[in-house]
Chains A and B, each alone.
Chain A
Amino acid sequence: MTRPEAPLTSRTRMSQVVLIACALAAFIAVTALASLLLSIAVEGTGSLSWKFLTSFASRKAASAGILAPLAGSVWVCAICAFVAIPMGIGTALYLEEYAKKSRLQGIIQLNISNLAGVPSIVYGLLALAVFVRCFGFRSGETPLSFSVDWSAMRILSPGDPDSLWFIQIPFGSGVLAGGLTLALVVLPIMITASQEALRAVPKSLRQAAEALGSTRWQVAWRVTLPAALPTMMTGAILSISRALGEAAPLLVIGGFLMVMQTPTNLMSDFTVLPMQIYNWSGRPQEEFHRIAAAAIIVQLAVLLTFNALAIFVRQSFQKPLQS
């Protein structure tokens, strides 16, 4: 005795409500992303020009550009990558290949997940004490400075501030301090990503190498590391793009908001794109919001390039490693 159009029972109706709620939630998330990108595109594209990319900051929005923050971001992220990538891979190798399943590994693992939860601004305080001030070394006096003259193979002291190899201790708030600060921030991410890459290497590869008489280091260096490298590089690129977007710890170490030159050595003053965006967004005038949006477009374009690079590396170098 079923009617041709049986009404939905309350249970199946409930089922549809849940489906609709879930789909709606996903739709809202996408809408948020779309409105964010659209509103920035609408606001910023008008100010985007070659001149915007190649001029320095200015008090007038119309003539301001992002050359200094662009150059600063490149310097700082290069230093960050140079420090954080080898350290992240080294730590991951130790945890996965040497200390596997030991108590030490458990403790360090917990510590790393704690570090990943520390707000980035707190890293700024650590960096301020350690890198910018070097624990108060020579505070109040002129800093110890030297520069390396590679052509004559000698060290000049006091150093020549115009030289590329000029170092000051304490470092002050230059690009070196900035890069090291960001390295601290992204190190936990880099370690976790490298660990996951190492874990994905099938055990049989290691066992084969061990059976042939390889030592631990030989297994790690010639077998697991090459196999895990593409995934690790993906993680590295994502870590660096995280560093590229950080502003808070750099504000704390005393990054500069108005910089009128590009860095020339490790001690140069710098600003980075997110700091410039912060500075312009915080002003009440509408025209500064427009150039802030233009700077955001540049920032997002760089990040998207990084992401595309990560996907490219993942897809073209990753060999299937199923045992």
Chain B
Amino acid sequence: MTSLPASTPFISPRARPVRVRLRAVFEWLMESALFLVTGLSVITTLAIIVILVHETWKFFTMRGADGQLLVPVKDFLTDSMWSPLLSNPPRFGVASLVSGTLLVTAIAAAFALPLGLLTAVYLSEYAPRRVRSLLKSLLEILAGIPTVVYGFFALTFITPNLLQPISGSFGTHSAMSAGIAVGIMILPIVSSLAEDALRAVPQSLRDGSLALGSTKAETILRVVIPAALSGIVASFLLAITRAIGETMIVALAAGGGVAQLTVDPAAQVQTMTAYMVQVFLGDAPAGGVEYQSSYAVAFTLFAFTFVMTWIGALILRRYREVYE
């Protein structure tokens, strides 16, 4: 008995030496510790939701000196003007900020989604191996550039060198300039994720299509892309989510402090994120109606991205084709 090593598992439970029992306690401790660490990520999500709901509730229940609600939910959702400082009484119609966000996102998506998908097709279907690895590392660099750098690029390059020569209606700040910069920022997300989806399509599908007499382009358009569609759509949704939440580019390039309901790409717009930056950088007193409004905006922003992420997860789960 004593000749057996202490950690052998074949000793009857009652005869287990102290070391083995300590081992069991240690195992339990480590598992619990890891479980607690894992729980923190769930707590983070819950904490975000609780704080946003709590502060947004405070915003909607604020009352003025006359006992009236300052910002009823109905005004928040239906008013067409967002002007917390310049108008009296201040107006809080979130539609102006949402339209700013959607305009910038739409411009970015119109630029980055087709370009990203075509780049992905080139990388996965056409590019020779060395070109592919070179291109991929260049796109990786693009993905690693901080977003504030894109904002700077929009201000100092895109606006004066691309937009202003085309049309005199572009000022220093415009939705177009910010939109293009956001587009460049999300391009590597689309191209790398879509490429992963395309490469996951088995070679036998391509071979079958080619053997039946299709050209390479027909194979790509009618076989490879449809087979990878769920992954491609998921990459689009992820890119759009990033564009909606993008802050530093729009804070620099999209406009000054004026929100407006417009679809004119040459106009200055304010996005939800840019408004939050304005509030937290400005000297709005904490607890005031302007300060508190940023939480209602953040809640709206969070709802947008949350829904997008869910749709993406659902599409991947429902429509993913698994090839063995």
Contact = CB atoms under 8 A, between A and B. Distances in A.
A319 to B, nearest CB: 22
A212 to B, nearest CB: 10
A19 B217 contact: yes
B38 interface: yes
B158 to A, nearest CB: 9
A40 B48 contact: no
B298 A121 contact: yes
A211 to B, nearest CB: 12
Contact of B244 (A11, A16, A26, A119): A119
B320 to A, nearest CB: 14
A281 B150 CA distance: 11
Given A11-B215, A118-B302, A289-B156, A278 B252 contact: yes
Interface stretch (B74-82, B91-99, B102-110, B122-130): B122-130
Nearest to A107: B42
Nearest to A290: B156
A242 B48 CA distance: 21
Given A94-B37, A113-B309, A121 B141 contact: no
A208 interface: no
Interface string B26-67: 110011011101101110110110011001000000000000
Contacts of A123: 48
Contacts of A122: 48, 52, 245, 298, 301-302
Interface stretch (A47-55, A163-171, A261-269, A292-300): A292-300
A1 interface: no
Interface residues of B, number: 90
Interface string B201-231: 0000000000000011110110000000000
B197 interface: no
Nearest to B214: A11
A61 interface: no
A203 to B, nearest CB: 17
B122 A247 contact: no
B154 to A, nearest CB: 9
A94 B305 contact: no
B179 interface: no
Interface stretch (B163-171, B260-268, B274-282): B274-282
Contacts of B55: 125
A139 to B, nearest CB: 10
A245 B51 contact: no
Contacts of B41: 91, 108, 111-112, 115, 187-188, 191
Given A26-B122, A282-B252, A244 B146 contact: yes
B289 interface: no
A200 interface: no
B241 interface: yes
B83 interface: no
A123 B298 CA distance: 10
Contacts of B126: 19, 22-23
Contacts, number: 253
Contacts of A125: 48, 51-52, 55, 295, 298
Contacts of B245: 117-122
A119 B145 contact: no
B151 A278 contact: yes
A110 B313 contact: yes
Q: How large is the interface on A (under 10, 10 to 19, 20 to 34, 35 or more residues)?
A: 35 or more
A90 B35 CA distance: 8
A117 B33 CA distance: 26
Contacts of A284: 172
B280 A293 contact: no
A217 B30 contact: yes
B163 to A, nearest CB: 14
A94 B146 contact: no
B308 interface: yes
B149 interface: yes
A25 B152 contact: no
B133 interface: no
22 contacts: A14-B215, A22-B119, A26-B127, A29-B119, A33-B138, A90-B37, A94-B37, A95-B38, A98-B31, A99-B38, A114-B306, A115-B41, A117-B238, A118-B302, A121-B245, A122-B301, A248-B277, A278-B151, A278-B252, A281-B252, A289-B155, A307-B144
Interface of A: 11-12, 14-19, 21-26, 28-30, 32-33, 35-36, 39-40, 43, 87, 90-91, 93-95, 98-99, 107-108, 110-115, 117-126, 129-130, 184, 187-188, 191, 213, 215-217, 238, 241-242, 244-248, 251-252, 254, 257, 274, 277-278, 281-282, 284, 289, 292-293, 296, 299-300, 303-304, 307
